[in-house]
Amino acid sequence: MAKKKPDEGPLNLTPDMLHTAARVEDRFNGWIQNRATDHAYHRTVIAYDTYGGTGWVRVLGRLVLTPNGQPAADVHASIRGWKSFVSVPLPNDTAWVRVNDEEHMVTSDRGGIIDTVIPGDFEPGETEIELWTDGSLVDSAAVRIIGEDSTFGIISDIDDTVMVTSLPRPFLAAWNTFVLSEHARSPVAGMAVLYDRITFMRPDTPMVYLSTGAWNSALTLKRFLSRNLYPMGPLLLTDWGPTTTRVFRSGKEHKRNSLERLAREFPWMKWLLIGDDGQNDEEIYGEFVENHPKNVAAVAIRQLTVGEAVWAGGRSKRHGRGQGVPWIYAPDGAGLASRLTERGIISTV
C-alpha cells in the first residue's frame, strides 16, 4: 500500500479492508447495544436544530440508548466531555417526525444518525419539528425556513473560531473532548458580539455552524453557544468511524460537501464564511469561492495567537483567494467587525 502523504487526510483502504473495518464497527455496536439493553438503557431520540426551504425541511437527529432516556441536559449544567459519548447508537432504526401537523417515518443510518429531507409547504421563518420512536420521549428542535427574500447568511466554523479549543493536537483534542468541563471552554473574544450585531441588523440572516466535530458533541456545543450568547442555528457535524471509502471520515470532505449542498439548496444566497487560519478553513473556503463566487459575500478569517497556532499544529500557508470576493483577517471579533464595516459588508447602523 502506498505511503499516505501528510495532507491527504484519512487513509484510503481496499474494498476488503473497508468491509472488515465496517464489519468490526457494526459488531462492536451490536455488542454494546446488547449490554446497554441488559442495563435497562432507554430508547431516546435527539432532535437537532435544522433548516429548510419553502418546499422542504432537512430533518437532523440521532437515535440512541441512554441511561435515563433524557435527550438533553439543562443549559446551565457543567458536564464532562466524556458524558456526551455514553449514549449507544441505534443503527438502521425507525423514528417518526411531526412537522406542519403531518407525521413522517424516518430511518437512522449505521451510526444512528437521521439526516433526511421531508417535502412540504412551509412559510419562511421559524417552525418546529418533533421526533420520537417506540418507547421514547418526544424531542423537539427549531427549524429555520429560508425563503428567496433572504439573500445573506453566515456559515461559521466552531473550533478556534467561536470557541478556543486548540485542536487538532491529539492529546489536547482528547482532553478537550472527553475530560474538560463544558464551563472550562472559552469563547473567542468578540465573536458573539459580531454575530449578534449582524443578525440584529439583518433579522432574516440564517446562521449555520459547520464543524468537523462529532454528532455526540452537538448538545454540548449548543449549550456552549447559548451560554455565551451566540445566535442559535443548526449545527452541521459529522460522525466517527469507518465509511465505505475511508477508515475515518474526512473532516475536510465533510465541510466541502456541506458547503456544496448549501450552494445547491440556496443558489440565490450570499454567505459570509467565517473560520480561522489554524489549518484548513482558508483552503476549503478558497475552493468554494472559486467554484461559487456569486454565493460568497466575503470570507472572514480569525488569526490565531502564537500559542494557539502552536497547539493547533501551525497556521495555514494558504492565503485568501477568489474572484473579487473580499478576504478579511483579524485576531478577534472586534477586529473582524471593524474590517467588515470598512468594506461595507456590515453596516455601522
Q: Which CATH number characterizes residue 56's domain?
A: 2.60.40.10
Give one DSSP letter per residue of 142-191, joined into a string: EEEEPPTT--EEEEE--BTTTEE---S-HHHHHIIIIISBGGG-EEPTTH
Rounded-to-integer distance, Cα 218 and Cα 234, Å: 10
Of 99, 122, 145, at which residue does a domain stop?
A: 145
Q: Is residue 235 part of a domain?
A: yes
Residue 159 lies in a domain: yes
With 90 as the cut, is the pLDDT of residue 149 above it? yes
Sheet of strand 270-276: strand arrangement: 235-238, 207-214, 152-156, 270-276, 296-302, 327-330
Q: What is the pLDDT of residue 346?
A: 85
pTM beyond cutoff 0.85: no
pLDDT digits (tens, 9 = 90+) for 24-44: 656 656 656 666 665 678 899
- % pLDDT > 90, the chain: 53
Is residue 214 one of the residues assigned to a domain? yes
Domain that holds residue 99: 41-145
pLDDT-derived band at 88 (thresholds 50, 70, 90) equals confident
Structural domain includes residue 36: no
Which positions ≥6 away from 46 have C-beta within 8 Å?
61, 62, 64, 71, 72, 131, 139, 218, 219
Is residue 3 very low, low, confident or very high in pLDDT (cuts 50, 70, 90)?
very low
Average pLDDT, integer, range 13-24: 54
Judged by average pLDDT, the poorest of 2-6, 46-50, 286-290 is 2-6
pLDDT in tens, 127-144: 999 999 999 999 999 999
Looking at the fold, whether 308 and 171 belong to one and the same domain comes out as yes
260-286 confidence digits (pLDDT tens): 999 999 999 999 999 998 878 999 999
Does residue 139 sit in the same domain as residue 156?
no
Residue 316: per-residue pLDDT: 54
What CATH number is given to the structural domain containing 332? Answer: 3.40.50.1000
**Residue 181: pLDDT band with limits 50, 70, 90:** low
List pLDDT tens digits, range 211-224.
988 888 888 889 88
- Quick check: 17 pLDDT over 60? no
Considering the domain architecture, whether residues 115 and 157 belong to the same structural domain is answered as: no
Give the chain's mean pLDDT. Answer: 81
pLDDT at 247 (0 to 100): 52
